[in-house]
Structure 1
Amino acid sequence: MSLSRREFLHLLAASAAARFALQSPQVLAHGDGDAFYDIPAFGNVSLLHMTDSHAQLLPVYFREPSVNIGVGEAFGRPPHLVGKALLTHYGIKPGTREAHALSALDFVEAARIYGKVGGYAHLATLVKRLRATRKGTLLLDGGDTWQGSATSLWTNAQDMVDAQLALGVDVMTGHWEFTFGAERVLQIVNGPFKGRIDFVAHNVKTTDFGDAVFKPYVIRTVNDIPVAVIGQAFPYTPIANPRHFVPDWSFGIQEEGVQHQIDAARAQGAQLVVLLSHNGMDVDLKLAGRVRGLDAILGGHTHDAVPQPVVVKNAGGQTLVCNVGCSGKFLGVLDCEVRDGRLKDWRYRLVPVFANLLPADPEMQAVIDRHRAPYEKRLNERLAIAESLLYRRGNFNGSFDQLILDALMQQKDAPIAFSPGFRWGTTLLPGDPITVERLMDQTAITYPSVTVNEFSGEQIKSILEDVADNIFNADPYYQQGGDMVRVGGLSYAIEPAQTIGQRIQDLRLDGKPLDASKKYRVAGWASVSADVEGEPVWEVVARYLRDRKTIAPPRLNLPRLIGVAGNPGWTDST
């Protein structure tokens, strides 16, 4: 009997999983969920922190990056550690559940053993367990919650709003939320959220008179302790996303504004002050060293899963900087002992949400099922089969990114393609079907139009230099927190530690140097310009997938990296 290519791949995957299990027999079983999630209570205030779920209501696979390069002061420090370097830094044993959750090592084999992560029904079970063992808790959502799935896009974020309410979120801030438009954001904040979830963002103001659009902070009393939560929305929203969605609002880091809000909250009696931030972790680390009176920053945006807070010294003492990954994969638990008006002691745990260890909460599952029911047939349409691991996350091309690039070039007859360096997007294992839902996980935005433009070689280099500076600028305040634009057809070299104008080198098309004055046809999507027309990217990629039915392992078009040898934020391990 002969084996088909797909059957052969399944056999290889099963064999690899068996080898992994034999090497680590203690991880074969699902384990004792009660023991794994037995997190002792401590102190008198508990902050539960989630962020960047990107509208993933169901359990998913999500591969952590194997490339997260830090330059300048960020070299070799969290969050710029990957793979073995990360596990060694935090003393985590390879082959364990925690190692799988935090790294890309042996990802396919470990994913088949440990199963999917996240899912709001499973997260709800965990939140209820923690609240049952802690007298006082606040659940804080760092944003990027309403965007990232088909159902969120098709329901105008209503599925996520209802899920947040059912989960019991207390306070949130935002970023991708603003891509639904100012009117929709205010409709939610002043409607279903009113009296239940506080949307805070001190750095969002009107462009005319500088009036606050949202509450800058809120004080919630926990066990007679006034706790202030200051909101910091993504500072570069009108640059990284279309300005026309929020034409009358300004953003920015506003460091002095942060200090003003800290002082105001303290003057109002707050004994614990935290910043619920969507800055990105590098920005938070710099900010923490420059303000006083801030006990902790609970951060998001850059999707960094960091097992322990980074303690940053400053003129007022110290600030804990925490980050909890994305896609509903982790919940941060910061237990605080507040006495004599200040934070005296703390305990922290970054908790992976394993769906096979936590039963689904029936109430939350009902909310999810209700919103998914009208779309199930459409979501489950099979477009093709993946023969290899498809993922996005990492400083440079991921395999799902490459699939999108290949589709753009083929469907739009373009020798070059660009795709945004988004950090959201779920992972598929070899043999998994590529459904409409999984495609939308990579593309579900409110500005999805595909465009074809002609750029000169000089313009192409300038675009790449500009994006690279947003990622690798040595000053975190000039970073926007995404990954490098994904590039199809065009090869290049990059030296991350260089300065703008000097990072991008050796641009070639079909092996020939790019001509600075020549025009090249370039396909792309997700333009931030207003009035862009074009078919949605998911329709272009769906056509490509339907034509092929089976997707062979994409050949990654990765840049040649210069000067990264020895950088613990880089590994060639997959």
Structure 2
Amino acid sequence: MGSSSTTSSRMLSPLPGSFQPSLKADLRWNSRLASSIKTNAQTKGRIMTKSWTRRRFMASAGLSAIGLGLSSPAAVVSARALFGAEGKGRRVTLLHFTDTHAQLEAHPEYLPGADPEIQMMGGYARLKTAIEEERRNCDGPCFLFDGGDDFQGSGPATWSRGEVVLGPLDALGLDVFVPGNWEPAYGPERFKETMARLSCPVVCYNFHDTESGKRLFEPSVTIERQGVKIAVVGITDIGASKRHPPAEFRGMDTTRMEGLRDFVKALRARERPDLVVALTHTGLSISRQIGREIPEFDVVLSGHSHERTARPILEGEVVVVEPGCFGSFLSRLDVFLGPAGGVVGHEFRLIPILPDRYEEDRTVKALVDSALAPYRARMGEVVGKTESLLMRYDVLENTADDFITDAVREAAKADIGFSNGFRFGAPILPANVTEADLWNLLPMDARLKTGWITGKELKDYLENELELVFSKDPWKLNGGWGPRASGLALLFKARAEKGRRVVSLKVGGRDVEDERRYTIAGCERPGEPIDVICRHRGSHDAEVLPITVHQALRDYFKTHPAIAPRREGRERALDLPSVVFSQDAVLAGGDVYRAATTPSGLPPT
């Protein structure tokens, strides 16, 4: 890592056998993402302008891309080739991962357009090897950033309240960490304790104590290494304290974003850094908006929405990237600093963490094995069997949530079963389903809750949920997935105006009637009023059932020994493809197949 000083007042490898699920016909991701190209730009000083710099010209000409899987070395245009050796400037390397969700070991991963599309990837021990390899191949200072959501997402993480993650994560050698929305999953006291035990600075501009109004962490940290000074500002999920169960965020608030641009301006003036980085856990669409509204940032390293940027996105002259989730990828962004200051160019790689590419680091492997050892037996318990792939990679319907909501609806004997699910989950292969799989699907258990609502209330609820996913105002986004339900068929227009998206709504195969009552079921969220079911406020005659969602899934397996869920068209958008990998691809407008976040194949190694 080299010597450094820190200024802070901080408190592809195929799966065994021949299993290769064919999703290509449905997905239609194609070769239009083609060339891997590296971008450079003209010097950008601290005073931002709207003039056509060389970076903006190159972006407009389509030369900002590093595509997935279809490039060759001959297609790569380097900064040296474009501007010559003298124009390249000092290189600064930013390594970044995010949203590992306690996936400490290699796991199945979904690679649309690759062959096969499901491959084993990730694992902290291989991620460590990849990090060290990239560090050895740096011409200048190298920094490692973590975008959060690491301590929740698996059975062992929940059973140990995040303890299994701490040792392996620390061993990766982080420089800066920003908390994600799931870090407080085990309550505010445990959250603060865990953050204090990390060996690196934890920074966050918008994590406040509600009583005192003070920040829980320093908003930024400045690091100087090999003569280069960078300032890093942390920003977490703005809506987390309102969206999550109140018990998780008791006494904490993530909504206060006022004054951020003035803060960054003052930081630049005070610290005079060579580079200002926003390390965000806000979702890619909001990260892009931050880049548009605060051009004083040079780079935004995004997390939360589990998007994979095949190539860097330019918002004016701010470079925005996001490296997927689960430790399946490591992003490397090299920026070049000009002699007079400012960024003159950048190069980007999305690096897949593959078993045949990286050996496991022995030290981290031992830490992972030791952390998981007490839980191995429980993880391996078989609870059922699936004969089809359980997938959660979709903004709309997916087979994993179809299974979950079917089980919830059956257990509660309701007309509609809802899922409180989260953005993505690692695929579960057609085989026996284990306790570990169950907790990867739903990392937090909770009792079921049921009640009734009218047809009019159901429509209004769904309109609000769709606005949270497809709002034209990025600041109103809250979550990266559409409604997921059993017993309900929803047809809508994603790009319609707020309150006018629902085109057709059926329950039990019949059109919904405004005055008719429909029973709904979902998960209890600790601290919420009794009448709130899956974010629907005002549910009638609501009651908590003496069964948890995990018990409902196990009971479902008992009555359905072998499940085989398929996409049924439960939630369909008339103005989108039948399968949508990327929320940002929709919100950015244009052809979703050409979007930087629509993958096609395996990134080059």
Identify the TM-score tier after normalising by the shorter chain: 0.7 to 0.9
Q: Which runs of 5+ in 1 are unaligned?
A: 1-9, 18-34, 64-99
2:568 matched to which residue of 1?
556
Counterpart Cα distance in 1 of 2:560 and 2:459: 33
2:553 matched to which residue of 1?
541
Alignment pair present for 1:58 and 2:70: no
Change (3 A) 1:554 1:110: closer
Q: Secondary structure at the match of 2:171?
A: helix
Task: Tell me if structure 2 keeps the 8 A contact 1:241–1:528.
Answer: no
1:125 matched to which residue of 2?
129
Task: Tell me if structure 1 keeps the 8 A contact 2:148–2:177.
Answer: yes
Task: Tell me if structure 1 keeps the 8 A contact 2:408–2:552.
Answer: yes
Task: Tell me if structure 1 keeps the 8 A contact 2:446–2:549.
Answer: yes
1:179 to partner: Cα distance:
2.1
Task: Tell me if structure 1 keeps the 8 A contact 2:397–2:567.
Answer: no
Task: Tell me if structure 2 keeps the 8 A contact 1:286–1:476.
Answer: yes
Change (3 A) 1:470 1:406: same
1:155 matched to which residue of 2?
160
Counterpart Cα distance in 2 of 1:302 and 1:486: 17
Task: Tell me if structure 1 keeps the 8 A contact 2:21–2:117.
Answer: no
Task: Tell me if structure 2 keeps the 8 A contact 1:487–1:557.
Answer: no
TM (norm. structure 1) is: 0.80
Counterpart Cα distance in 1 of 2:295 and 2:480: 28
1:225 to partner: Cα distance:
1.1
1:329 matched to which residue of 2?
328
Alignment of 1:293-442 (within 5 A): 293-313=296-316, 318-339=317-338, 340-430=340-430, 432-442=431-441
Counterpart Cα distance in 1 of 2:442 and 2:495: 31
Q: Secondary structure at the match of 1:234?
A: coil
1:373 to partner: Cα distance:
0.9
2:46 matched to which residue of 1?
none
1:256 to partner: Cα distance:
2.9
Change (3 A) 1:547 1:370: farther
Counterpart Cα distance in 2 of 1:550 and 1:422: 24
Change (3 A) 1:355 1:253: farther
Counterpart Cα distance in 2 of 1:528 and 1:475: 30
Counterpart Cα distance in 2 of 1:230 and 1:13: 44
Task: Tell me if structure 1 keeps the 8 A contact 2:470–2:495.
Answer: yes
Q: Secondary structure at the match of 1:116?
A: strand
1:241 to partner: Cα distance:
0.7
2:592 matched to which residue of 1?
569
Q: Secondary structure at the match of 2:519?
A: strand
1:269 matched to which residue of 2?
272
1:346 to partner: Cα distance:
2.2
Q: Secondary structure at the match of 1:199?
A: coil
Change (3 A) 1:421 1:461: farther
1:321 to partner: Cα distance:
0.7
1:554 to partner: Cα distance:
3.7
1:26 matched to which residue of 2?
none
Task: Tell me if structure 1 keeps the 8 A contact 2:394–2:424.
Answer: no
What number of residue pairs does the alignment pair up? 492
Task: Tell me if structure 2 keeps the 8 A contact 1:259–1:292.
Answer: no
Counterpart Cα distance in 2 of 1:388 and 1:547: 17
Task: Tell me if structure 2 keeps the 8 A contact 1:119–1:355.
Answer: no
Alignment of 1:190-269 (within 5 A): 190=196, 192-193=197-198, 196-252=199-255, 254=257, 256-269=259-272
1:49 matched to which residue of 2?
96
Task: Tell me if structure 1 keeps the 8 A contact 2:22–2:117.
Answer: no
1:508 to partner: Cα distance:
1.4
Change (3 A) 1:13 1:325: closer
1:183 matched to which residue of 2?
189
Counterpart Cα distance in 1 of 2:526 and 2:344: 46
Task: Tell me if structure 2 keeps the 8 A contact 1:116–1:356.
Answer: no
Counterpart Cα distance in 2 of 1:261 and 1:185: 27
Residue type at the aligned position of 2:169: Q
Q: Secondary structure at the match of 1:461?
A: helix
CA RMSD, Structure 1 to Structure 2 (Å): 2.8
1:555 to partner: Cα distance:
5.0
1:128 to partner: Cα distance:
1.3
Task: Tell me if structure 2 keeps the 8 A contact 1:117–1:353.
Answer: yes
| Between 515-524 and 337-346, the greater mean CA deviation after superposition | 337-346
Higher helix share: 1
Task: Tell me if structure 2 keeps the 8 A contact 1:409–1:416.
Answer: yes
Q: Deviations over 1:32-61 (max 9, x none)?
A: xxx9xxxx9994421110011111111112
Counterpart Cα distance in 2 of 1:160 and 1:179: 14
1:396 to partner: Cα distance:
1.0
Identity %: 27
Q: Deviations over 1:66-120 (max 9, x none)?
A: xxxxxxxxxxxxxxxxxxxxxxxxxxxxxxxxxx3xx2x367x443xxx301111
Q: Deviations over 1:285-318 (max 9, x none)?
A: 12211113211000011111012211111xxxx2
Change (3 A) 1:343 1:14: closer
1:525 matched to which residue of 2?
523
Change (3 A) 1:15 1:301: closer
Residue type at the aligned position of 2:128: A
Residue type at the aligned position of 1:278: H
1:492 matched to which residue of 2?
490
Change (3 A) 1:154 1:169: same
1:463 matched to which residue of 2?
461
1:353 to partner: Cα distance:
1.0
Change (3 A) 1:311 1:253: farther
Counterpart Cα distance in 1 of 2:145 and 2:297: 16
Q: Deviations over 1:388-418 (max 9, x none)?
A: 1110121111101111111112222122111
Residue type at the aligned position of 1:469: E
Q: Which runs of 5+ in 2 are unaligned?
A: 1-15, 24-72, 80-87, 531-543, 578-588
1:235 to partner: Cα distance:
0.3
TM (norm. structure 2) is: 0.76
Task: Tell me if structure 2 keeps the 8 A contact 1:50–1:331.
Answer: yes
The counterpart of 2:178, out of the listed 173, 178, 181, is 173
Counterpart Cα distance in 1 of 2:415 and 2:227: 64
